[in-house]
Amino acid sequence: MTGTPPPYLPGHGLLAGRTAVVTAAAGAGIGGATARRLLEEGARVVISDAHARRLKESEDALAAEFGAGRVASLPCDVTDETRVAALLDLAEEHHGRLDIVVNNAGLGGTADLVDMTDEQWDKVLDVTLNGTFRCTRAALRRMKAAGAGGVVVNNASVVGWRAQRGQAHYAAAKAGVMALTRCAALEAAAYGVRVNAVSPSLAMHPHLVKVTTPELLAELTSREAFGRYAEPWEVANVIVFLASGYSSYLTGEVLSVSSQHP
């Protein structure tokens, strides 16, 4: 029915034996939903977030449900290359391998360009685009050296394709993530690593409510063909697909997770 989310799908063991890293995975957003879906599909998971307390709470909750041996965490600021390296090192040390990296960390904000400061622009670009670059580079270096393939999935946004007032910095960053994905994919194919991205339109989570006005949320929701926003786990399902063998011939692709019409 239009306006009603579909039933939550059970796992099918698509990622059994694989090790995945997910950035910005604390809380109830896309990153947290992705970590859960990866675990439900049999993966071992390392989660990170810039918020240490919330990250520990997420790790404890997932470990209680899926087993402490399958979940580890490390606070990580993706603007810090040293912390990024430590995060991926933990995955290899804790689980013995690195198969999947989901670059979910990003930062938004709203400001018209004429009012936007250099600091606002730089901060959004450094987290959202440069952070994805740092994590992708670190992942590809390790996957290339290991010689066992691997998958990188980046989180972009339909704003990288479609204009939205007050989002010049975020739109530029997400468009950059799309271009980075395509270029990295061409390079990584030579050593058997796939790089793809998802491009969600509107996935509801508590942080979005805090930084977006009710009027804008209502307007964005009205553009969706299903008459509702996506649940974070619906985006996570597509990330799982891209991480799994079901997408073995996809690389350099940006999949729109959206029912939005112009």
Residue 150: both structure tokens together:
């691997």
Instruction: Give the 3-state secondary structure of the chain.
Output: CCCCCCCCCCCCCCCCCCEEEECCCCCCCHHHHHHHHHHHCCCEEEECCCCHHHHHHHHHHHHHHHCHHHEEECCCCCCCHHHHHHHHHHHHHHHCCCCEEEECCCCCCCCCCCCCCHHHHHHHHHHHHHHHHHHHHHHHHHHHHHCCCEEEEEECCHHHCCCCCCCHHHHHHHHHHHHHHHHHHHHHHHHCEEEEEEEECCECCHHHHHHCCHHHHHHHHHCECCCCCECHHHHHHHHHHHHCHHHCCCCCCEEEECCECC
CA atoms of 26 and 59, how far apart (whole Å) = 8
Cα separation, 95 vs 226, in Å, equals 40
> Rounded to an integer, what distance in angstroms lies between the CA atom of residue 236 and that of residue 224?
18
Contact 38, 65 (CB under 8 A): no
Catalytic residue (choose from 8, 170, 246, 249): 170
Whether 191 is a known active-site residue: answer: no
Which residues are tagged catalytic?
170
